[in-house]
Structure 1
Amino acid sequence: MGTENTSAPPPAQSAPADNPTRTRRHGGGIIHENTRHTTRFVVIGNHLVQHKELSLLAIGLSCHLQSLPTGAGADIKSLAARFPEGPTRIAAALRELEAHGYLRRERHRTETGRIVTRTVSCNQPHADRRREPADTGCPPAKRTPPPQRRTVQKALPAVPQPSSTAPALFQTALDLLADLRRRDARLLLSATDTAHLVPGVAAWLERDVTPGAVRHALTAGLPDEPLHRPAALLAHRLVAQLPPPPPFRAPAGPPPPRYEVRNCDGCDRGFRAPETEDRCRDCRAASHP
């Protein structure tokens, strides 16, 4: 029992914890002396640091970007000033990270109208963008919606203009347009549209067209479907159906003067004549046979 068996192999001993030159499986390779970080550290995934397609420069650059605080400079110029690699190599590394989803560069317009570029560093890229992305810690890309085309409403067609500016003429035209909605609810006009159409109606009235005839020309034969722009339809009719000017009439002469009645000095008969005449027409004829 007390005899030592010198032919038996010695028991296996584990490598001491303080000896970094040995491992359990072989004598070479890397072992780690890890100390738990409590401040100023960043978590880097093995999918990045052991990536088989990224260059070492791209991996290191991504680690550096993930360690930066929000708002720190991450453009090529800032990175080239920080590291010995030149702008060409840094730009190539950034493109590698973009291609594998570790980086996005987005352009945004500030409140002052200036265009700035934001660099978004993702600590875990989306493996398959066709599927719903998992919670990877990297916010999804903010897609700027395409600018919406603003529908610009065409201006109303021009309407005839009257030669007269009489207030009564324009008031009659205004009352006529305001009354159209009572005949057809689709002809409810805004104040702006009414102001545009008033001169056209006044031009009709100025051509000896009665208000009833103007109203009939504007409302007769309207289509049955809804009117999207009733003011445009009325403006078109005011132009297309404008009647010709009234026939020319020579202006009437002034009315003959009306003299006061006086008594004839020859026959004492009353007659009308200027003050220079003291006899009636008959007496004047008798005195000049």
Structure 2
Amino acid sequence: MLRHAIAPTRRYTKASHDVVRHQCLNSDAKILLLYVQGLSEADVTARSLGEHAARLGIKGRAYQRAKQLLTESGYLHAWRWQGERGRWVTEQLLANVTLTGEEAGRARVGDGPPPTTHTPTVGGPGTREPGGSYPEEQREKNLPHPPPEDPEPAADTELAEAERVLLSLRHVNRDLLLGVREARVLAGTAAEWLRRGISAGDLRKALTAGLPSGGVRSAVGFVRHRLVQKLPDRAGPTPSLAEVAAARPGLVTCAGPGAEHVFRPLAEETRCGRCRAEGATSTTANDRHPQPLPWRDRLAGAGA
């Protein structure tokens, strides 16, 4: 492979190799991060992150996926609170280095040094100051806030279906956005609903109906509370017709055609009223339109 590169003298953005070569970020996440870092302060605050992504053509699921990857990697942090008039406000911080929640909080309020304050000497060894970026080979070993281990993927049908339902809640209401790890943690309780005869659609409806008017502050806590508090009773096996007849004295099994069913006789009937009515209708139709005699009998009658 050949390469020809000319360093730009203006209108460029410095991109860290940690971002460009990051294995957990897709191309949309990297482009969005570099695009925002190259904007002026006024342009950044004038629009939300979603609006910046739309200007790049990153919309819908692609934007949600890029935002999720940036959040999980420590580049994107968000705070949500309720304003004076009751409206919910979301503030986002997009950094070009990975930050812990504490470091992001300090950068948000301007308390303490900025995330990167050192300038490494070109070609010489340097030391990392607090808030700087890790080399790629050390990132996996020395994360400042290592994420918890992923739960095992869903093994049976109910767990897999429950996990899909939980991840689909975001399409009904954006306040119910759950990550993959969060959905796998809650999938065990949600799968119990499916084992008790509740369909996936009814489960989704139970989790999204009647949401608080002020919004959901914690999607994980809200969904967990509903899964536990609204868990339906375990349905018993469906009784057979014989058990139904035994439990309700006076019911007998109909001897008529069709599927097996029971009825309550008035006297000594062996067939229900519907079967008797259908039998009487067919008999009347046969009497009204008698079947023709075979041709041999008709010839014999004509000769006589």
TM-score strictly above 0.5: no
Taking structure 1 as the reference length, the TM-score comes to: 0.32
- Between structure 1 and structure 2, the one with the greater Rg is 1
Structure ranking higher in helix proportion: 2
TM-score (structure 2 length as normaliser): 0.30
